[in-house]
Structures are given as structure tokens and as C-alpha cells.
Amino acid sequence: MNNLSKSKDEKKLNLFWVIQRIKKGYPIQIFAVLVCIVIVAVTTLIGTTFFKALIDDYITPLLQSGQKDFSNLDKAIVRLSFVCAVGVIASYVQSTTMVKIGQGTMRGIREELFSHMQRLSVSYFDTHPYGDTMSIYTNDVDTLRQFIGVSLPNILSSIISLISVFITMLILNVPLTFLSLGMILIIMFISNKSASISMKHFVRQQTQIGEINAYIEEMMSGQKVIKVFCHEEAVEKDFLLINEKLRQSASKANSYANILMPIINQLGKFSYVIIAIAASVASVKGYMNITVGEIVTFLALVQSFTQPLSQVGQQVNAIIMASAGVSRLGNLLYAQPEDAGGDISLVNVVHKDGALEETADRSGMWAWKKGDKEYVEVKGDIKFEDVDFSYVEGHTILHDINLYAKPAQKIAFVGSTGAGKTTITNLLNRFYDIDKGNIIYDGIKIKDIKKSDLRKSLGIVLQDTHLFTGTVMDNIRYGRPSASDEECIGAARLANAHGFIERLPNSYDTVISADGGSLSQGQRQLLAIARAAVADPPVLILDEATSSIDTHTEKLVQRGMDALMSGRTTFVIAHRLSTIRNSDCIMVLEHGRIIERGSHEELLSQKGRYYKLYTGMSVID
């Protein structure tokens, strides 16, 4: 089983997906925008065709008659001004509505991305750099802003304008219309070729933006290590290489896209000149009956016909970038979500008339609920039976793991780095699924338990603590959102964190940010222990829970931890062997296998690997 491989069935998104979302989410607003676009196109067309009436119906007769009565012309100009005003209002309504549609659509996409991300497995984040994922939320989603707010309405406006202008040109003069159409087809062919070439470079550009964001994020989080080992120049050189790759792909993408506009403009002007010459010659030679006003109007229509193509050309960059961005959105949005697990849930129960009865209130007792009325009390009886596991198919990390933990027992894991200690606890959480064997929890295979309920039954304190922006009270309550202030304070006392919290500027209301950067590592560890304590779970997993605490504090915390572990099945991973002496069973792992097991005294008497570690004849590396 390949737990870390990317899904081979990832779907590909394109801009039609975005358009479908807009149609579904904003049907009334889209209809209003389309009406406004039609109004703008019609008013523009009226303004353009006014040249024919101006020359043939007003200016020419006035010149021929020698009269100076401009009353009819004044009325025509007033009517035209009104039409133009309607066009301006429609254009304003269109623009403001598209801004609302664009921002609303982007908000919905970000929400869908974040919601989906919460359902992804841990293995997804093991194989995808955080900076690259962040780039999807920021850079790739932002490419849609220009597309929805500017490019999409321009495309719709251009289509409607092209249709209306083409029909008007046909009505005015068929031969000249087909001559114009030939030039337009040449422009469209060149545009398509340029867009297809630049597309692949824009996709590469978006990918490399994600890579550079990931590198920056990694270097920011590792600043202390970089400075300690004086690697500033080395990481700067690596950054320059990544940045240069981004420059090259961005330059190629924009070069191909930017050349399109001058081509369209020049071909448009060339088309204008060709049609002007053809119309003039045809009129002089008598090949067609066409007035001066019709020629001027037709030339204006030619400009109106090429202008939409020019507008699309101006948006090519934005369209291609949005297309590349939405493709990367699909990589996250359609990444295989973590399955929910089985159908057995965790519920609060009470003893009533010698049987277990479900209750909505927190009772301090839990049970696994099978079907409608079958309950199995949660005791913390856990077994691993012949378990094999591999992160990558073909590279087995754990081999034939067999162990059991009776209710309320304390099981400890020791061994070299990479021996598989943390991996075992990750399998119990179902962060990853096993390749072979079974993990049994109170007589139930954990694959039959809903993952969310399974994890609710497990309290975890990790070596690498993570605190969230908020108050100290909020971070402790993270373990159980329904916990009262008194319960949170009690958990802090249990973990011996109450003392330092009281010395903070605002005690439990002190706001911490940047993962608790203002606190010492030991203080952050104490808050993590308090967070696990307030959850009050039936099973505890302590992964180097006291590794960052000094010896004096460790003795205080250990008393709190002993109280926390009382009555609970506990799995402990520790490098300080003194903290696990009182464990019911100690498992010694090497290269993914359990090589020794027993109590502290039993392992010492065997004088094997554990004996060497404990007596200092060997070290845990």
C-alpha cells in the first residue's frame, strides 16, 4: 500500500468549472450583467451607425441646400446623448455587479478548498510542501479575480458586440462584410497559436511560484538553524536558482502573450486600410451603390469589429494565468480525501439497571456504539496483531508488530531514531492505514470505527507542540471546546502550568501568537499537556511529552502526568529512560521490529539492548 503517493485519479479543472459556479451561485446577477452588456453593445452600435445619418441625412443635405437650420440635428444629438447616458449607467451596473460576483465566487472557492483540506489525510501534507499549498490559496485563487472581474465580462461583451456588429455590417454591405471577415479569421488564427504556446509556460510559472513560496516558508521556519550553521550564503544561492527558473518561465509566458496585442492592433489597422481602399474604389468605379456616410459608418463598424478581438487580446495573460491557476486548484480540491472509517461511533454512557445507556451529557464514561442499541464500554484494551506498515510501497517500516495494552496499563517505546516508535502511535490514530494485520480496540477492529470518534478517544501530547493564535484559555480548551473555564484551569494545575500562566500579563486571557513564540519551549509543552488533560480521554499517547522541560520542572510535571495517566491506557515514547521505569511494559524497537519487551527490571536482567541503553553503554541516536 502506498500511503504517501499522490492520487492518480486527480481530476483536472478548467475555466468552465468557474463559469458553472458563477451561473449556479449568481443566476440573477449574471442575467442582469448580460442585460447590461446587451444595452452597452446596442448603445455603442447606435452611436457608431449615427455617422451614416449624420453625414447622409444632415450634413450632406445642409451643404447642398446652403441652409443653416440645425434644429433636427440638435434633436438627434440630444437623443444620442440620452442613449450614451443609458450605456454609461449600464456599464457601471455591469462593473459593480461583476466585482460582487467575483469576490463572492473567490470566497466560496477558498471556503471549499479549506473545507476539503480538513478532510485530507496526513499523508497528503507529508508529500505537499506547505508553501506550495499556501500559494494555491493566495496566488492561484487571486488569478480568478482578474478573470471574473475583467476578462469574463470583456469576453461576453466582445461576443455580443461581434454578433451585433456583424449583423449590422451584413445589412449595410455584404461584400465588404466578407472581406472584413477574412481579415478577422487571420487575427483569430494567430491569437489561438500564441495562446496555446504561452499556456504551457504560464502553467510552469504558477507551479514555480508555489515552489518559491514553499522554499521561503521553509527558510523562514528554519532561520535559527541557518544562522547557527552560517548557511545564509548557501540558502541565498539556492533561492537565486529557484528565482531564476521562475523568471525564465514568467518571461517566456508573458513574451508570447504580450506579442499578441501588437499583432491584433496592426492587423486591425491593416484591415481598416484595405476596406477603406476597396470601398472607395468600388464607389468611384460604380461597382456598388454606396454613399460617403455608409463608407464612414462601415469603417467605424470595422473598428468596432476588431476592437472586441483587441480586448480579448488584452486579457490573454489574465485568462491563461487563471486557467493555469484553476488547474492547480483542482490538484488540491480533487485530492483524495481521507475516508471516514467505519460506522462505529463513540458516545457518552451511564450505567442504568445493570446496562449501558447512552446520554447526551458528559458522564466520564464512554462506549462504542454498534448499530442502534449495542454498546461496548471503552476500557482502553488495545492489541496489535502481526502489523506491517510502509509509507512507500515496497519499503516496509514496521514488521510483524505484536503487542497488547490492558486497560489502564502504561506501555513505553524506546529505541533509536527511526526505529518506528512514533509510527506505531500514528497507526493507532489511523493517520495512516496498515498494510497487513489488525489493530484491535476493545475487541473492535479500528478500521470499523469512525476515524473522528477513534481520535476523540485518544489524547495526544507531541514532541513538537503547536499552539494557535488566541488566548491561553482558548489553547487549553482546544482539547475539548465544551470545557468550562474551571475545567481548563484544573487541567492547567494538573499539568503544573497554572503557576507560569498566572505570571503572564493577563493570566489565562493572555493572547499568544506565532505558535507561542513569546513562551519558552517548556511552557509550550506544559500547555500542550494541559490541552490533553482537559480532553480527559480514555487513552493517552505521550510522544516525548517532557523532552523540552528541564529536570526540575520535569519532576513537577511527572507528578501531574502520573495523575493524568491514572486509570488510562497510556503509550509513552521517551528518550529519558528514567521517566518510563514504572511502565507496565517497555518495548524496545530497532529497524521496525520489537526486539525486547518486559518491565524495567525484566529488561535489565536480560542485559540486552535496553540494559545497554539504561546503563549508558549505548545511546539512543
Q: What is the pLDDT of residues 188-208, one digit of tens each?
A: 777 666 666 666 777 777 778
Is the separation of the CB atoms in 174 and 289 below 8 Å?
no
For position 58, what pLDDT does the model report? 60
Task: Catalogue the E-assigned strands of 410-512.
Answer: 410-415, 436-441, 444-445, 458-461, 470-471, 511-512
- C-beta of residue 487 within 8 angstroms of C-beta of residue 534: yes
Q: What angle do CA 426, 389, 424 make, to 5 degrees?
A: 30
Residue 568's pLDDT band (cuts 50, 70, 90): confident
Residue 294 above 60 pLDDT? Answer: yes
Where residue 257 falls among pLDDT bands split at 50, 70, 90?
low
Which of the two residues, 55 and 302, has the higher pLDDT score?
302
Question: Residue 220 — φ and ψ, nearest 5°?
Answer: -65, -45
> Where do you find CATH 1.20.1560.10 in the chain?
15-333
Q: Which of 45-54, 61-70, 198-207, 255-264 has the lowest mean pLDDT?
A: 61-70
Which residues lie below 8 Å from residue 576, measured CB to CB, with a gap of 6+? 546, 547, 554
Question: What pLDDT was estimated at residue 516?
Answer: 67
The per-residue b/e assignment along 502-525, b for 16 or more CB within 10 angstroms, e otherwise, is: eebeeebeeebeeebeebeebbbb
- Architecture in CATH of 15-333: Up-down Bundle (1.20)
Q: Which long-range contacts (CB under 8 A, 24 or more apart) does 418-423 make?
A: 419/589, 419/590, 419/591, 419/592, 420/589, 420/591, 420/592, 420/593, 421/543, 421/573, 421/589, 422/543, 422/573, 423/389, 423/397, 423/398, 423/592
- Which residues, 6 or more positions from 476, have their beta carbon under 8 angstroms from its beta carbon? 483, 488, 491, 492, 508, 527, 530, 531, 534
Residue, of 326 and 265, whose pLDDT is higher: 326
In 3D space, the residue among 65, 221, 14 whose CA is nearest the CA of residue 131 turns out to be: 221
In this predicted structure, the answer to whether residue 4 has a pLDDT above a threshold of 80 is: no
Amino acid symbol at 337: P
| Whole-angstrom distance, CA of residue 242 vs CA of residue 232 | 16
Instruction: Return the closest-CA partner of residue 367 out of 315, 444, 439.
Output: 444
pLDDT confidence of 400, banded at 50, 70, 90?
A: very high
CA 265, CA 262: separation in Å to the nearest integer?
Answer: 5
**Nearest-angstrom CA–CA distance, 27 and 17:** 15
Strands 569-573 and 539-543: parallel
Dmax (CA) for the chain in angstroms is 126
For the entire predicted model, the pTM comes to 0.69
Phi, psi of 433 (to 5 degrees): -105, 145
Contact criterion met (CB below 8 Å) for 432 and 339: no
Non-local (6+) Cβ contacts of 79 within 8 A are none
Count CB-CB contacts under 10 A for residue 46: 15
Supply the pLDDT for residue 399.
Answer: 92
CA gap 130, 142 in Å, rounded: 18
**What angle do the packed helices 485-494 and 521-535 form, to 10 degrees?**
120
Residue 445 phi, psi (nearest 5):
-65, 130
Cell of 560: 501531574
Give the whole-angstrom CA distance, residue 302 versus residue 177: 9
Q: Is CATH 1.10.10.10 what the domain over 382-615 is classified as, yes or no? A: no
Locate CATH 3.40.50.300 in the chain.
Answer: 382-615
Question: What pLDDT is recorded for position 1?
Answer: 42
Provide the angle, in degrees to the nearest 10, between the axes of the packed helices 232-258 and 316-333: 130
Q: Please state the rounded mean pLDDT for residues 421-446.
A: 91
| Rama region for 575: left / alpha / beta (φ>0; ψ in -120 to 50; rest) | alpha
Highest mean pLDDT among 198-202, 270-274, 454-458, 544-548: 454-458
Cα–Cα dist 538/237, whole Å:
51
